[in-house]
Structure 1
Amino acid sequence: MKKIIQYAGLSLVILLVFSCKKQEIAVANPPEIVNVTIEMSTVKDTLEFLKDGKIIAKSPSDQGSFTLEAKVYVSGDHEKIQIRKKGTTEILATRSIRSNAYQQTIKCYYDGLNAYGNSVLLKIKGYAKTDVLELLIDGTVVGSGTNKEFPAGLSIGVNDGVDREIQIRKQGDSKVLYHKKLTSTEAVQKLNFYYEPGQLLDNIDIALPVNMENALFSASFTSTLDIFTGPADLVVHKGKGNITLFPPTTIRIPLPADGSFSQSVELLPPAAGESYSYKLVKRGTLIDLAYNTKDEFMPMRPESGFTTLPFAAGGCAIVVMTDSKVVTKTGPSTVKGTRINLEATDIAQYFK
């Protein structure tokens, strides 16, 4: 009886030992469940995200920014999530995931050509006095404009530790007028410039008035109208109410015929309730327009050639002007006629 009990006990021990060994083998490298948050943006095409050849997430549409969630099994520290365009097999990029963290985030910015790890915002303030200028990133055109009609901002794809280059050139010309480094470490970066034939400036020294209660003002003018006769002056007016009724001051600013900037004038603060305006006139005259109006639809509107002159104590305005013509042949007499508009942009704001 004693031997039977001993054999039974030995068998139980052996069974327990082998059972423990089998359990250890079964859980040696168990796969971990990982929750992956995908922060993505695409300007073109629907993107798919794959793990082990299977789609785990895709963007809801081909444009926009989205946050996607996916749960995947991970058994090592070097596993990959692949990114591709919907309907293709080409892999645009991969992102690494690991098994030692349940919550992980991957990022993707797709610009229509490449998938990047992130993006930066490029804020743009530019003025091109003539010509159409193109904005390029690493040689690829991403925007264009003339006068002040440039994109206010662009999202640019970047990868960690890799700089990109912003370039500016004239449309139809391969010569690069300007270039600047775009880093991957600053979320928001700026591009400010002023262009006129022969030069592109990314910085202008802003002068200050001698008396900080006053304000400095200078201007340049280039006409787009074939009825402009030139040369021209700006006559500064000051008053209350309708700017066309402001009495003229003694301040006259001759405008260079080549479109360069005038000499700066220092303006005194206007009295309470008053403001400044100016009118573009034929050189040496007080009210005559610098345009041949004999063949225009009459009357010439009294606001022709006028615009406001903002005053900021201690400040400096560097104004670039051009013109346009509006002809109204119908409607009440208060609007009928031909109006010459001045379109003014203070480029000092770009460089302060």
Structure 2
Amino acid sequence: MKRATIKDVAAYAGVSFKTVSYVLNGGDKVSDKTRNAVLEAVRSLDYQPHRAARAMRTGQAFSIALVGYGQNDIPSYGNLADPAIALIVAAMAATAEARGYTLSLSNFTRSDLSAYERGLAQGQFDGGIFIPFANNPGALEPFLSSPLVVIDQPNLPNDVPVVCVDYRSGVREAVTHLAARGRRRIGFIGGPRDLNAYHNTERYGGYFDGLTTNGLTLDDALVVAADYSFEGARAVARALLTAKPDAIVAASDRMAIGALREAHALGLRVPEDLAIVGFDDLEAARYVDPPLTTVHHPLTDLGRHAAEMMLARIENRLPADQRRATLRTHLVVRASS
């Protein structure tokens, strides 16, 4: 198949090839309609700009680093084998690629930020999208003057671009859904209690809020922690089920599916004896038996939004009032509840 050229993109978008070049090189003096038409043409035609020529001409690397930071000792969490992380990264990569940038993953699983710092100083990257494995805003101080976007780290200076998800309201909605269906002993499988990360603590907060909102009493025996894996959740579900919950909310779909497997092994009927709700809305949630009720986590939107914000930051077109975004969740009701 013939590779698309910049003139093909221009014809598809109904603009001049100079306008296409201007948009792809970060020009901001075009209307949103024109910019969107060019980007849609790039995506539709799978246009691949010649990065080496652009880099020589502009002095940019046309590369964005995905950087993980904060200590992470949990094998099943914060790596590309995690389907939730994979969806976020795929959306970032596609968004960057459409604008002629690559997404570098070489710094993602390292807790040491010195390699990224050297790469940035050497011009290997134009900026970085940071995903925290733990709450450690101080680690970002050396990079605050460079282009960066941070995911799920709201306690940073207001001028730092941050994209968060409203995890708390999602879990609260799950608890309210179960309470409305008459469930009174609602258990919770959260992430590790010592994992001081925004997404983890906010999920716990949503569970506690949900109990309070619905007039339910907290029973410590109904709250357990696992490592975000199938196996870890199944093991703690075994102990949790001895406390006789009539429903379980899990902080991820993988943990909900682990609990579902354990419930089946113990001869419990879902949802008749035990309702189960997950969090993420992964593809697998639709295919377990019964299909899993879950909180939809806007993973693709999160990756896309972070990449778009990063590109705008690199191109100096990210106003101060557009540097914070919170993405909403919603409940997807299926047969498990």
TM-score exceeds 0.5: no
TM-score normalised to structure 2 length? 0.25
Bigger radius of gyration: 1
Higher relative strand content: 1
TM-score normalised to structure 1 length? 0.24
Higher relative helix content: 2
Question: Higher RCO, 1 or 2 (CA under 8 Å, sep at least 6)?
Answer: 2
